[in-house]
Amino acid sequence: MPATHDRALDALLRRGRLRALEPCRGMDFASNDYLGLANSSALRHAVAAAIDRGVPVGSGGSRLLRGNHAEHEALEAEAAAFFGAETALFFGGGFIANTAIFSTLPGRGDLIVYDALIHASAHEGMRLSKAECVAAAHNDPQAFADAIRSWRGNGGTGTIWLAVESLYSMDGDRAPLDDLIAIADANDAVLVIDEAHATGVFGVGGRGLGAHLEGRANVISLHTCGKALGVMGALVLAPSTLRDFLVNRARSFIYATAPSPLIAAAVRAALDIVQREPERRTTLHARIAFAAQTLQAQTRHAPSGSQIQPIIIGSDTRAVALAAALRQRDFDIRAIRPPTVPEGTARLRLTITLNTSEDELAAVIVALADAEAELSP
């Protein structure tokens, strides 16, 4: 093995940034399984029923070869109807879907203005894009407008693409979507909304924070299926022309083996559960409110207002130590460090799901306060 890799890993270890795979154990305050569907009997029964009716496990090839199954097409039709978009396209995961969007749709001479805290998958797509890419300050509509004005002033004439998450994965805060769509409308721009952490949780019927914008000619949304929906994969909702362009030009779609038809059947079932069981959302929002009250009473940390609660620590090593202390108490919570989050903002990412009770949620917050006091400098 090259010595450079050893040195790089040693450097990460010294800085408190070495990653390692850890088993799932203890109470779940780390997953994105917000509605508790991943291990639910409802999804297990849906998968068993799909197997009984002959749905295959593997697709056998890419969608453009023999891998296009009736389950994929049924899912896409049902998802488009559920979310209120013209069309949907199913990908194997959110990372490759975002990579496809940003590497394929914006072209040479175009501009992508992206929120500074947007997900790594969007960055990967932009890295492969021929468009110019400019960061805008987080959740600052004026920064987006200023970037557009500057680019136009310097002779930019192409299409403008605005890229945001509706609910940010590491901070749990919401994008100002109404302000951003107004900017998009005023500049003939396309707004790309990553709904990964809002799908199933927020919006009318769990349709996301941008549900009222779905179906517009200048809106693309990404709904991942491995978080609140409890399965895996991702759905890109877009006008038919953009869907067709992805099918014809997106390398991560064309050259990838199609997602399992069995997984497509499971996602169909998950969307049905989201529609039929609104009480899951109601219970989750009650837990979010309870967590906010308990955090304010027991700790110095401000509530995020969502199911994603960052506990900002600052120091990488201290964040790792706090996470370890909580896992020793049987609470599964993980440390998030740069480059996933900005320098100096290492944190614990506490997620609120239906996999733990209100009593357990209260207990983890008390344990957090105790652990912070014990590890005070």
Active site residue 169: yes
The one catalytic residue in 110, 194, 195, 332 is 194
Active site residue 195: no
Contact 168, 117 (CB under 8 A): yes
Contact 225, 79 (CB under 8 A): no
Active site residue 188: no
The one catalytic residue in 33, 115, 171, 197 is 197
Active site residue 227: yes
Active site residue 130: no
Pairing mode, if any, of strands 27-28 and 331-332?
A: parallel
SS (H, E, C) the chain: CCHHHHHHHHHHHHCCCCCCCCCCCCEECCCCCCCCCCCCHHHHHHHHHHHHCCCCCCCCCECCCCCCCHHHHHHHHHHHHHHCCCEEEEECCHHHHHHHHHHHCCCCCCEEEEECCCCHHHHHHHHHCCCEEEEECCCCHHHHHHHHHHHHHCCCCCCEEEEEECECCCCCCECCHHHHHHHHHHCCCEEEEECCCCCCCCCHHHCCCCHHHCCCCCEEEEEECCCCCCCCCEEEEECHHHHHHHHHHCHHHHCCECCCHHHHHHHHHHHHHHHHCHHHHHHHHHHHHHHHHHHHHHCCCCCCCCCEEEEEEECHHHHHHHHHHHHHCCEECEEECCCCCCCCCEEEEEECCCCCCHHHHHHHHHHHHHHHHHCCC
The one catalytic residue in 72, 76, 115, 119 is 119
Active site residue 194: yes
The one catalytic residue in 59, 121, 166, 169 is 169
Active site residue 301: no
The one catalytic residue in 28, 165, 316, 372 is 165
Give the catalytic positions in this structure: 32, 119, 165, 169, 194, 197, 227
